[in-house]
Amino acid sequence: MKADTVNKQEQKELIVEITFDRSNIISNAARQFEKDNPGIKIKVVENDIPMSDYVKKLNTELLAGKGPDIFCTYLYDLSDCAREGLLVDYNELIGKDDTFSVNDYFSSILYGTKYGEGLYAIPLTYSFEGFLVNEKLLKDKGLTIDENWTWKDFYKIAGTFTNNDSNIQCYMLPKLTSTIVLLESQIIHDWDYYLNKGSKTARFDTGEFTDALHTYESIYNKGVMHPDIDEITIWQSAKGAGNEHILLMPVSYCSYYDISSFESIFNGDFKMMPEPKGNYTPSRMFTGKNISINNNSQNKDEAWQFVKYLLSEDVQKKWSVNSFVVNKKASEAGINEIIEYQSQSKKENEHRITEMDIKQLDYIIENVLNKNRTSDAINRSLWSELRPFFDKQISAERMAEILQNKVELYLNE
């Protein structure tokens, strides 16, 4: 029997399902990994169905003892599968692998996907929501904002902008194109307070939840938003087009390179801030593109080797210019590449990234972010259920009662 035939028979195959890989980084990494590990064959399967349908399919397969060896997902709620013991706990793999050092990674992101004490997913890349702060207006108003602010702090600041006098050119926010974004962020950050799926209890009929609804109402009724300038206008406008009268601009932080587009927002005089944390939990969210290992896999050791490869500096560098990555050295390499590119770029209105900018983001990443944002069936349906409240058809108190009843029904199915 030929040697190559023997090798082929001895090969172990890993099935890797992915819901994100537009740059084909995972697919290309799989081919390189196969070259370095000839005893392992990796089949990469791209998801081509809606995410909600894929989640149902994946959960059904895992519960049946089937499914891929590895899966890469976005906004996937793994709590049910973790409770059922269907996912590998990376803590156990890391604890017995001397070749993997947690010090090589941003610990807040690496461990931000924990469920209980278990680590069932690791982010390959991640992003987070936040605000740009108009530093000049902040000083003019005599206000301070700490990175550790809560949503109560956010609404306290909003109280200093409660005027409907259009002659007063001072607003907390631009005109928001999405009417529920602030309420959604506020509730999601306290999601673990309002809902405990493990004990099948919910707290939507509480004063805390109705307070959240009332504060949402107040920010839309008291003139804290600019009547004409919305986020899209700000992104498209030149310097001095009215942006200087707005304190906070909502932004998505996806990479260090995003900083370069912030120049025209507040004439370059800005501070980067995360979203406020929860009022009742310490949660400060990021959104990870995560990788998990199926506990039913017959090739868990080989799966871990491939996950480690995707977390290595060489592979993570390929994401590091256009995304935040969890590997520290890869992140640094991406920053250096951006700075080198900017040193040769002639683009107008492009903010030149400074050491202070990098320190601001690094502080947020290492000291503020601590929890991966997910989406389960309940919080996906919550926003359509709230429609009567948004349309001012029912009160906050009545809305809370309705939600509590529906969530309890769901939990007890």
Cα-trace Rg, the chain: 23
Give the pLDDT of residue 57: 93
Pairing of strands 285-293, 70-74: antiparallel
pLDDT given at position 396: 95
- For residue 184 the two structure tokens come to 């959604």
CA angle 251, 255, 259 (to 5 degrees): 60
227, two tokens: 């009547």
Q: Count CB atoms within 10 A of the CB of residue 152.
A: 15
pLDDT of residue 1: 39
Supply the pLDDT for residue 197. 86
CA angle 104, 106, 111 (to 5 degrees): 110
pLDDT grade, residue 3 (50/70/90)? very low
Mean pLDDT on 174-186: 85
**Token pair 């947690």 in the structure block, residue:** 102
Q: Is the pTM of this model over 0.75?
A: yes
Mean pLDDT, rounded, for 148-163: 85
Confidence of residue 161 (pLDDT cuts 50, 70, 90): confident
Nearest-10 crossing angle of helices 181-189, 377-385:
140
Contact in structure between 362 and 256 (CB atoms under 8 Å): no
pLDDT in tens, 268-327: 889 999 999 999 998 999 999 999 999 999 999 999 999 999 999 999 999 999 999 999
Q: How many CA atoms does the CB half-sphere of 311 hold within 13 Å? A: 27
DSSP per position, 243-266:
GGGBSEEEEEE--GGGGGGGTTTT
pLDDT band at 243; cut points 50, 70, 90:
confident
> Residue 2 — very low, low, confident or very high, per pLDDT cuts 50/70/90?
very low
Q: In this structure, how many other beta carbons lie within 10 angstroms of the beta carbon of residue 238? A: 8
Q: What is the DSSP letter of 13?
A: E
d(CA 42, CA 35): 11
